[in-house]
């Protein structure tokens, strides 16, 4: 029987790459967006798969909307990638962030309980839940110390999935995903902002790239590899939560330097600090330990460290 997957939030970076992966494995792929008629679905179009997926409108905060879509599609697997995805924006829109992420997850789990308890559920968690790891890699046993409204919402979503897994015997799991990037990121993400600015400057622009704290350190990975981990999680015999990370951290300063070097530029001549871009609270360092994923999922990242910004920069030319 052909497997049927529903990707909630298919218009984002991860949704596009996951859809491509599932199609390559022979899945029938459905996706949702808040307003399917007015969404450009650029990621799906860039990957040349827009006409191969079926799209529906769904508002994760509206239980009736979720229930209607789940009842219509009757998927075997659900990947919840929906919700506001910017840490910075969550300080400006804390209520919308909590509602879209935490309430959205709860609505989906409850709909599964009503429609079909055999549906397998993946929830996209976040390394932001750990806060500042202090240079020590966080794993599945590490405590959550969220430092932003976004992180609080993601922590609540992770706990929602755990409660439904234990209380109703649902196949519900969370991938605690560390930062993962690609050319499909929108401009509001700092990695895409850096790459776009470097390309413009290399083409003759006299602009200055304005950044906040460039001393923060993050565990950056390659998005196509992370969606593979999602699929592997839903194909285990039993549901488990996993940290998905490279285990290598680099500072934003180092990330900028690599990008500008690839553009044959000296970043120090083109980057300036902008205090207005500083967040009210921002973990200094966050790094993950995915040893469990390596053993249980046979998952290992191939693109790590400085190779991540290099690949983002060079692959961005192929999607223009």
**If one looks up domain 190-217+249-283+306-318 in CATH, what number appears?**
3.90.25.10
| Dihedral angle of Cα 32, 49, 81, 171, to the nearest 10 degrees | 90
Give the span between the Cα atoms of 32 and 240, in whole angstroms. 25
- CATH 3.40.50.720 residue ranges in the chain? 4-181+221-247+288-296
Give the span between the Cα atoms of 193 and 211, in whole angstroms. 9
> Could you tell me if 285 and 217 are in contact, meaning their C-beta atoms sit under 8 angstroms apart?
yes
Chunk the chain into consecutive blocks of 10 residues (it has 320) and report each block's average pLDDT, rounded to whole numbers: 96 97 98 90 96 96 97 98 90 94 97 98 97 94 96 98 98 98 92 95 96 95 98 98 97 97 96 91 93 98 96 80
Please tell me the predicted confidence (pLDDT) of residue 36.
86
> Could you tell me if 16 and 47 are in contact, meaning their C-beta atoms sit under 8 angstroms apart?
yes
Please tell me the predicted confidence (pLDDT) of residue 178.
97
Give the span between the Cα atoms of 245 and 220, in whole angstroms. 8
Give the span between the Cα atoms of 30 and 20, in whole angstroms. 12
Task: Please list the active-site residues.
Answer: 126, 128, 150
- CATH 3.90.25.10 residue ranges in the chain? 190-217+249-283+306-318
Give the span between the Cα atoms of 40 and 12, in whole angstroms. 11
Please tell me the predicted confidence (pLDDT) of residue 319.
61
Residues 6+ apart with CB under 8 A from 71: 115
Residues 6+ apart with CB under 8 A from 238: 171
Give the span between the Cα atoms of 114 and 122, in whole angstroms. 17
CATH assignment of 4-181+221-247+288-296, given 3.40.50.720, 2.40.340.10, 3.20.20.70, 3.90.470.10?
A: 3.40.50.720
> Could you tell me if 207 and 276 are in contact, meaning their C-beta atoms sit under 8 angstroms apart?
no
Q: Which of 247, 248, 230 has its CA nearest to residue 239?
A: 230
Three-state DSSP at 173 gives strand
Please tell me the predicted confidence (pLDDT) of residue 320.
44
């Amino acid at each position: 029987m052909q497997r049927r997957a529903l990707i909630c939030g298919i218009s984002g970076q991860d949704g596009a790459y996951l859809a491509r992966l599932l199609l390559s494995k022979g899945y029938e792929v459905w996706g949702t967006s808040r307003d399917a008629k007015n969404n450009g679905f650029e990621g799906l179009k860039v990957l040349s798969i827009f006409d191969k997926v079926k799209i529906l409108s769904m508002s994760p905060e509206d239980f009736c909307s979720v229930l209607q879509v789940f009842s219509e599609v009757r998927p075997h697997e659900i990947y919840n990638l929906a919700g506001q995805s910017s840490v910075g924006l969550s300080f400006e829109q804390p209520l919308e962030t909590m509602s879209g992420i935490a309430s959205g997850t709860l609505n989906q789990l409850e709909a599964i309980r009503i429609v079909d308890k055999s549906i397998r559920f993946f929830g996209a968690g976040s390394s932001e839940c750990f806060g500042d790891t202090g240079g020590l890699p966080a794993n599945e046993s590490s405590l959550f110390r969220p430092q932003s409204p976004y992180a609080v919402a993601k922590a609540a979503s992770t706990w929602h999935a755990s409660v439904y897994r234990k209380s109703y015997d649902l196949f519900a799991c969370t991938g605690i995903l560390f930062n993962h990037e690609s050319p499909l990121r929108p401009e509001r993400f700092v990695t895409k902002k850096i790459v776009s600015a470097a390309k413009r400057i290399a083409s003759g622009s006299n602009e200055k790239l304005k950044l906040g704290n460039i001393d923060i350190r993050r565990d950056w990975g390659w998005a196509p590899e992370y969606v593979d981990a999602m699929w592997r999680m839903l194909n285990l015999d039993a549901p488990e939560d996993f940290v998905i990370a490279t285990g290598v951290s680099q500072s934003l300063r180092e990330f900028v330097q690599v990008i500008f070097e690839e553009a044959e530029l000296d970043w120090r001549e083109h980057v300036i600090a902008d205090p207005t871009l500083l967040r009210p609270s921002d973990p200094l360092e966050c790094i993950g330990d995915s040893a469990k994923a390596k053993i249980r999922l046979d998952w290992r990242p191939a693109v790590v460290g400085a190779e991540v910004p290099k690949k983002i920069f060079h692959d961005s030319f192929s999607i223009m």
